[in-house]
Amino acid sequence: MNVADLTHSGLKQWILDFAELTTPEEIVIADGSAAQYDELVAQQIAGGYCVPLNPEKRPGSIAYNSDPSDVARVENRTYIAAQNKEAAGPTNNWIDPVVLKETMTGLYRGCMKGRTLYVIPFSMGPVGSPIAKIGVELTDSAYVVINMMIMTRVGAKVLEVLGTDGEYVPCYHSVGKPLAGGESDNGQWPCAPIEQKYISHFPETREIWSYGSGYGGNALLGKKCLALRIASVLAHDEGWLAEHMLILKITSPEGKSKFVAGAFPSACGKTNLAMLVPTIPGWKVETVGDDIAWMKYGSDGQLYAINPEAGFFGVAPGTSNDSNYNAMVSASKNSIFTNCALTEDNDVWWEGIGYDAPGKLIDWHGNEWVQDKGNKEQKPAAHPNARFTAPAAQCPSIASEWEDPKGVPISAILFGGRRAHTVPLVHQSYDWNHGVFLGSIVGSEITAAALDLKVGTIRRDPFAMLPFCGYNMGDYFQHWINVGKAATDESKLPKIFYVNWFRKTEDGKWLWPGFGENSRVLKWVFEACDGTAKSVDTPIGIMPTADAIDLPEGVSEEDMRELLSVDVDGWLREVEDVRTNHYPKFGDHLPKELSSFLDQLEAKLKAAQ
């Protein structure tokens, strides 16, 4: 298909206008076909941008290395360019949209000279779903095209749904004018210097402009940019929820199933939970999505969720058969690896894969690397944010409903963070608004890996949405309250829980084994949704009784009492931190209900002293 064949006149003119600005050599429309995917991969291999992996070990798979300056999301170069700074809110970077567009137009001018302009029509969610949204990305990166073909639904069917005048989110992207050294430096994709990188969102006009980066979250514009930052604005205006949440299906031994959504900041086991293998006999967990959930009310008054993505863009280091068997199988074929190490027989390897490096490797910088366990200063062979892009359909735990266009009914929502102390293994909110309060105070303790912050302090990441909310986060809290008010039957609202897999003893040992054993907590959540769970009211919420959760091996009754206790002094410190350091950021935009819950929590804790 050529641009001239497009029936959507607005779309056609938009593409031609951008081509006139960027001056590409040719324009190619992504049709989503296997033939086009294979052709683009062959071109990338021939150009030295990626290498084919061992067809016996990783059939249909390739590996890329990026420029060392282009390995992760660049939050300090990510902007919510709302019409005024207050609309963007205190947790987002803001630039006047007129000024920003002028700057970026200058950067885009002529930036695709000698390159191909790819047009990617894509659907976030099953094509034609009433919950799905359509975007069109214009890019000069074949890496982006093939990743988007895995991560979203791309091609002719999307254009059919778009029709002659349908709405779409316009997404501009370019890797930018390359650094000195040419288009390809040691097989790495080109990118602009950091001061020219912009990942920009224009909430009022529903536009995404990205320049200077080829990395996933900055360049695959269906991912965080559309699915969360712009979708959260659409959700606010249209009365639904666009969330940084996994979706899983849990089925009891009696064959009864429930769907659970969950929001967790990074490094808190989100993907592992989405693909969990239960340790309790007879229970089954299946995957609907590992990262994003869009939820709307159905005609029956219940919230239904879709996973708007079609693939997994997972962190490779730390992923192993022990930590996440289903992710390993998902990425065993037809996958794209970025910034992993290469073995001598052209397989990939990374730290935490579950076995030692098999001899001499080529690290993600392109240098020879031999594992030296005695050298604590040795740099990792794979970048800590190395990624795999794998089709969701290849996941052995994928649920049969994962592409249901009407979505799946959500019974429970989990919030969680990484907390060594204070926050118990699990507690439930008293009602929807109390659940919003719990989501608003989510945080994780700073580890030694974050050298710019004091170890042990709490980094708040409400709803795990801090980097991804496309408008003022105080208004986002209010939107959650409003969604609850819009329920036609409050009894059908999902129950809300706060979980914490990361409790430690005073001497630093884990109190809870995590991973598959988290199914024991899911079982209690399942029972709580059914009204059959053993529970007790506490100052912080509804908690399991000491004997309500089946003990895993190695966890004593004393450990469980500690995991399910209310640390009154710790929670009073939590109240003080939220009151002093967290809530004041939102000023007049903080819903009064949340301040009231904080006051109530403090009063209940003091009464319990």
The closest alpha carbon to 122, from 269, 50, 25, 220, belongs to 220
* Helix axis angle, 432-440 to 592-608, nearest 10°: 90
Consult the annotation and say whether 147 binds a ligand. Answer: no
Consult the annotation and say whether 132 binds a ligand. Answer: no
Consult the annotation and say whether 153 binds a ligand. Answer: no
Consult the annotation and say whether 244 binds a ligand. Answer: yes
Consult the annotation and say whether 386 binds a ligand. Answer: yes
Which tokens sit at 598? 């904080």
Instruction: Report which residue type is found at 387.
Output: R
Consult the annotation and say whether 427 binds a ligand. Answer: no
**Three-class SS of 243-265:** ECCEEEEEECCCCCEEEEEEECC
The closest alpha carbon to 196, from 74, 113, 90, 280, belongs to 74
Q: Which helix (DSSP H) or strand (DSSP E) does residue 338 occupy?
A: strand 336-338
Consult the annotation and say whether 77 binds a ligand. Answer: no
Residue length, the chain?
A: 609
The answer to whether residue 268 is catalytic is yes
Consult the annotation and say whether 270 binds a ligand. Answer: yes
Catalytic residue among 268, 395, 469, 529: 268
Consult the annotation and say whether 235 binds a ligand. Answer: no
Consult the annotation and say whether 517 binds a ligand. Answer: yes
User: In Å, how far from its chain's centre is CA 508?
Assistant: 29
Consult the annotation and say whether 115 binds a ligand. Answer: no
Consult the annotation and say whether 34 binds a ligand. Answer: no
Instruction: Report which residue type is found at 180.
Output: A
- Confirm if 271 and 265 have CB atoms less than 8 A apart: no
120 beta partners: 137
Consult the annotation and say whether 224 binds a ligand. Answer: yes
- Alpha-carbon distance of 292 to 128, in angstroms, equals 18
Three-state DSSP class for residue 134:
strand
Consult the annotation and say whether 215 binds a ligand. Answer: yes
- Alpha-carbon distance of 64 to 38, in angstroms, equals 16
Consult the annotation and say whether 217 binds a ligand. Answer: yes
Consult the annotation and say whether 387 binds a ligand. Answer: yes
Question: For the chain, what is the largest distance between any 2 Cα atoms, rounded to a whole number of angstroms?
Answer: 74
Three-state DSSP class for residue 233:
helix
Please report, in range form, the residues annotated as the binding site for Mn(2+). 224, 244, 291
Residues with a known catalytic role: 268
Please report, in range form, the residues annotated as the binding site for substrate. 73, 215-217, 266, 385-387
Please report, in range form, the residues annotated as the binding site for GTP. 267-272, 387, 418, 515-518
Please report, in range form, the residues annotated as the binding site. 73, 215-217, 224, 244, 266-272, 291, 385-387, 418, 515-518
